[in-house]
Amino acid sequence: MKKFLLLSALFIGTLFTQQASAQAGSAGLGLRATPDGGGFTAKLFMNKFLAFEGQLNAGGIMGLEGESFNAVGLLEFHIILPDPSWRIFMGGGLHGGVWDRGWRYVDDERRWMDDNRAIFGVSGIGGVEYVFKKIPLGLSADIKPAINFVSEVDFFPHNMFGLSARFYMGRRI
């Protein structure tokens, strides 16, 4: 928990120091809720079609294959719909963190072991976002499948579906 709070504080601090460079586009800071956890999200638009999204997620809180904490960096392409408040986005990136899958029985060694491991892999993302015209708030729904490559190639089930709310600072695109 101490690591989560420290990393969260560093993440938020970094976002506020990036505000000067965010004047070229808009930057959003908010929360992401998932069925098994949640975390923080930040999105920085380079132009009206291209954005970088960073996430800090805690997963497995509801008992889904252990607990995890990870950081995700995503590059997203946005398609603006006829009503410019709506946009569809898709992209991908990398994630890294830790995943404690709990105690499991290992048949080869006939013993129980704690399956705590570092994770690193690729993540995809796709979703839809609505940005209000009169207030600087954006709401989005997304799906973010991920595959780990460290230790063994493994599907990563935590934080796959998400609902986000972001407060946008700077010029809204």
pLDDT for 127-139, tens place per residue? 999 999 999 999 9
pLDDT at 65 over 90: no
Q: Is the dihedral of CA 77, 81, 83, 86 positive or negative?
A: negative
Report d(CA 133, CA 78) in Å as an integer.
17
Domain that holds residue 57: 2-170
pLDDT in tens, 112-124: 666 677 889 999 9
pLDDT at residue 22 in the model = 34
Q: pLDDT band at 150, cuts 50/70/90?
A: confident
Residue 166 sits in a domain whose CATH number is 2.40.160.20
Mean pLDDT, to the nearest integer, of 26-48?
Answer: 93
Please work out, in degrees rounded to the nearest 5, the angle formed at the alpha carbon of residue 140 by the alpha carbons of 48 and 17. Answer: 60
pLDDT at residue 18 in the model = 42
Q: pLDDT band at 109, cuts 50/70/90?
A: low
pLDDT at 126 over 90: yes
pLDDT at 50 over 90: yes
pLDDT at residue 110 in the model = 62
Domain count, the chain: 1
